[in-house]
Amino acid sequence: MTDFQKYVQRYLDLIPSENWLEELKKSGEKTVGIYSELSEEQSLFAYAEGKWTLKELLLHLSDTERIFQYRILAFTRGDQNELPGFDEELYAKQSFANERTLSSLLEEYQLIRKSSQILLETANSEALKNVGSANGNQISAETIGKLIVGHNIHHLNIIEERYLPKL
């Protein structure tokens, strides 16, 4: 198993059921639920020096999901161009998430998640099997959809384990 396959598998293993489209909805609802309970001050909390604030983490989820959406769209449409990777640390540093209101970040997350749901629920099942290349790795559109779910759950786990107990 390659490093990339291990990376993908660790996220796929977090999806609690075979119905990953339902888990997409559930993880989105859970994320919104947690963030809806935070104050502006709490949303600026980082559990350790050099770690993202809760606002930065939320925008990271949105940024990543947007990038994954584009990959899904490209691959389901048969695009064979190599798609670039992205540097999540650079994106976070350039996001200015902490300058935005929590409500605007949450609205953005919700709109992106709804867009993902529509994209994935209406995609042709055969087209979801299409494989493309992103960041030098071959991956199917469906697997990227599942990565959205697993990636979100991964960060929910971090929020529950490292952020919320210290608030």
CA triple 123-120-17, angle to 5 deg: 125
Torsion of CA 47, 90, 61, 66, to 10 degrees: 180
What are the average pLDDT values for consecutive 10-residue runs of the chain, which has 167 residues? Answer: 94 98 98 98 97 98 98 98 96 97 98 98 98 97 98 98 98
pTM above 0.95? yes
